[in-house]
Amino acid sequence: MKTSNNIWFNLDWTTVLLYLLLVFLGWINIYAAVYSDDHQSIMDMGQKYGKQLIWIIAGIVLAIMVLSVDSKFYAAFAYHIYAITILLLIAVLFLGKEVNGARAWFEFGNIALQPAELGKFATNLALAKCISQFDFKIQKMRSYIILILLILLPSVLIIMQNDTGSALVFAVFVFVFYREGLNGMVLFWGFAAAALFILSLLLDQFKLLFFLLTISVAAYGVLRQNIKEPLIGFLAIIGALGLIWLINSIFSLDGTPLELLTITSMLIAILVIIYGIIRRIGEVWRILLFFIFAIGISMSVNYFYKNVMAPHQRDRIDQVLGIKIDKLGKGYNVNQSKIAIGSGGIIGKGFLKGTQTKYNFVPEQSTDFIFCTVGEEWGFIGATAVLGLFLLLLTRLINIAERQRSQFSRVYGYGVACILFFHIAINISMTIGLAPVIGIPLPFFSYGGSSLWSFTILLFIFLRLDASRTENIR
C-alpha cells in the first residue's frame, strides 16, 4: 500500500484528539482549582497551571519522540526496558528522596522523576512480549507463574516505596489475561474474594456464616437445577439451628450464637456428605469446597485487616464502607470532596466560580482531587461529559486493540486501556466516596509532570504500534 509507511497518515487521530481535549480540560481545571485574584494569568509560570502548561508541551514533544521511534523497537526491547525499570525501582529505594513518607522520587535539580510511573508501561510491554511469544499458552501453570512474577516484581518494589496505591494498579492486568484466554473462573473467584472481603468487614461473623450457608445452598440448587433440595436444605439448617439452640437453653450451656451456628453448619455438612455419598451427587463436593474456601477467606480477611494492613489504610477502607464516620479527621478529605462535587448541582457553578476548591477546602485539589473542580464548576452535566470522554477513549482503545494483527500490539493495547480504566475508576470513585483514598492520579487531568508523561508515553507507544499495524503480522 502506498500510504502504509506514513505514520502520520495511519495515526489514529480520534484518540489523539481525545487525548488533547482531556489534557486541555485538565489544564483549565487546574487553573480553576488554584485560581486566585492575585495570580490571574493562566500563563503565570510561577503557578501550578503555568507549570502544567510546560509539562503538557514537554508531553507533546515526548509523544512525537515516541511516534518517531520504529514500531519494532518496542517489541524488541520490551524486556530491556522492563529490566531497566526494575533496576530504577530498586535504586530509588536507596537513592530516592522521601516525600510524604514515600521514598519514590529521583530528583534531578528541579525535575523529579517517579520510577513507579515507568513501571506501568514497562510491565505492560514485558507482559505483551511474554504473551505474544509463539510457544506461550496462557492455560499452563508455568505461564501463570511467569505472568504473576512479571507483575509481582514491580508491585512489591513499589509497595516497599510505601506507595500501595500505585502497586494496586497492577492487579488490573487480570482483565488483559482474561482477554487472552485466562479461565473465566479465575475472574469469578477474584470477584467473589473481593466481595467476601467487603462482607467480612461489614457483617459480623454470625451473619456472614449464615449468609455463606444460604449462598451455598442456593448455589447447589443452581448447579443441580432443582428447587426442592435446596429448600429442604435451608429448612434443615433452620431446624437444626433451632434444635441446637433449644438444647443450649435447656442445659444452660452458654454457647454464643456464633458457636451454635458453627455446630449447626458442621452437623449439616456431615449430613450433606452422607447424602452426597449415598446418592452419588458430585456437586456436593464442589459446594463443600466453595464453602470451606469462603470460610477460609473471611477468617483470613480479619487477620489480614487487623495485623497486616497499616492503620491509615484501615481507616480509608472504614470510611468508604461507612464503618467509621469521621468527617473532620480521617474522612475530612473525602467529605470536603463530596461537598465540593455535591454543591455543583446540575449545571455547576461555572468556570472559576467554584468556592470549595478555590478556597482550599479540598486538600490536594489540583492533583488527586482535581475531579472536584470538574464536579463543582461544571456540575453533573460537566462531570458526566468528562466521564463520557474517558469512556469514549477506553472503548476506542479496546476497538483499536482488537484490530491489531500483532498479538503483542493487542495485549499492549488492552494493557493501556485497563491501566487507564483503573486510574479513572478509582480516582473518581474516591472523590465521591465510592472507593478508599489510595492516592492515584486522574489520567491527563491531575497536576504533575511525571504522571502526565507516563500516561502520554503509555498511550503513544500504543498509537505508534497501531500506526504500523498493516506493516507486519506478528
Partner 1 sequence: MDVFSKRKYLVIGLFSLTALIIVVRLFYIQVIDSSYKISAATNVLRREINYPARGVIYDRNGKLMVFNQAAYDVLITPREVKAFDTLAFCSIVGVAKEELINEIIKAKNFSRYKPSPIIKQLSSQTYAVLQEQLFKYPGFYIQARTLRQYPAKIAAHVLGYVGEVDQKAIDANKYYENGDYIGRSGIERAYENELRGVKGISYKMVDVHQMIKGSFEQGRLDTAAVIGKNLISTLNADLQGYGEQLLSGKVGSIVAIEPSTGEILVLASSPTFDPGLFVGRERGRNYAKLLNDPNKPMLNRAITSSYPPGSTFKIANALIGLKDGVLQTVRYSCNGPASTPIVCTHNHETPLGLISAIRESCNSFFWQAFRSEINHYSTPTEGLEAFRNSLLEMGIGRKIGGDLYAENSGNAPSVSYYDKIYGQGGWNSMTIRSLSIGQGELLVTPLQLSNMVSLIANRGYYIAPHLVRSIQEYDGTQDTLHYDKHTIDAGRDNYEMIVEGMEQVVESGTARVSAKIDSLIICGKTGTIQNPHGEAHSAFVAFAPKINPKIAIAVYIENGVWGARYAAPIASLIIEKYLKGRIASRRQHFEDAMINSNLISTMKLEGGD
Site membership for partner 1, residue 134 (CB under 8 A): no
Using CB under 8 A, pick the residue from 12, 117, 180, 318 that binds partner 1: 180
In the complex, minimum distance from the CB of residue 378 to partner 1, in angstroms, rounded to a whole number: 10
Using CB under 8 A, pick the residue from 291, 369, 414, 455 that binds partner 1: 414
Binding mask 393-412 for partner 1 (x = CB under 8 A): -xx--xx-xx----------
Residue 439 — left, alpha, or beta (φ > 0 → left; ψ -120 to 50 → alpha)?
left
Q: Which of residues 181-220 bind partner 1 (CB under 8 A)?
A: 181
Using CB under 8 A, pick the residue from 53, 56, 208, 383 that binds partner 1: 383
Site membership for partner 1, residue 384 (CB under 8 A): yes
CA dihedral 7, 12, 13, 15 (to 10 degrees): -140
Q: Which of residues 428-447 bind partner 1 (CB under 8 A)?
A: 428-429, 432-434
Cα atoms in the Cβ-side hemisphere of radius 13 Å centred on 66: 24
Sign of the dihedral through C-alpha 32, 34, 39, 42: negative
What residues pair up with 103 in beta bridges, in sequence order?
98
Q: Cell numbers at residue 38, please? A: 492575585
Site membership for partner 1, residue 257 (CB under 8 A): no
* Piece of 41-49, 102-110, 274-282, 381-389 that binds partner 1 (CB under 8 A): 381-389
Using CB under 8 A, pick the residue from 345, 350, 470, 474 that binds partner 1: 345
In the complex, minimum distance from the CB of residue 449 to partner 1, in angstroms, rounded to a whole number: 26
CB–CB of 354/376 below 8 Å?
yes
Using CB under 8 A, pick the residue from 208, 268, 340, 452 that binds partner 1: 340
Q: Total residues at the site for partner 1 (CB under 8 A)?
A: 48
Residue among 101 and 345 whose Cβ is closer to partner 1? 345
Site membership for partner 1, residue 66 (CB under 8 A): no
Helix spans in 355-406 (H):
370-402
Pairing of β 97-99 and β 102-108? antiparallel
CB–CB of 339/361 below 8 Å?
yes
> What whole-number distance in Å separates Cα of residue 356 and Cα of residue 343?
9
Site membership for partner 1, residue 86 (CB under 8 A): no
Best CA proximity match to 232, nearest among 117, 71, 240 = 240
Binding mask 299-338 for partner 1 (x = CB under 8 A): -----------------------------x-------x-x
Q: Cell numbers at residue 413, please? A: 493495547
Using CB under 8 A, pick the residue from 421, 444, 455, 460 that binds partner 1: 421
Nearest-5° Cα angle at 136, 130 to 139: 115
In the complex, minimum distance from the CB of residue 402 to partner 1, in angstroms, rounded to a whole number: 5
Site membership for partner 1, residue 459 (CB under 8 A): no
> What's the DSSP call for residue 39?
B
Residue 101 — left, alpha, or beta (φ > 0 → left; ψ -120 to 50 → alpha)?
left
Best CA proximity match to 212, nearest among 170, 253, 268, 151 = 268
Residue ranges that bind partner 1, judged by CB under 8 A: 36-37, 175, 178-181, 328, 336, 338-346, 355-356, 359-361, 375, 379-380, 383-384, 387-388, 390-391, 394-395, 398-399, 401-402, 414, 417-418, 421, 425, 428-429, 432-434
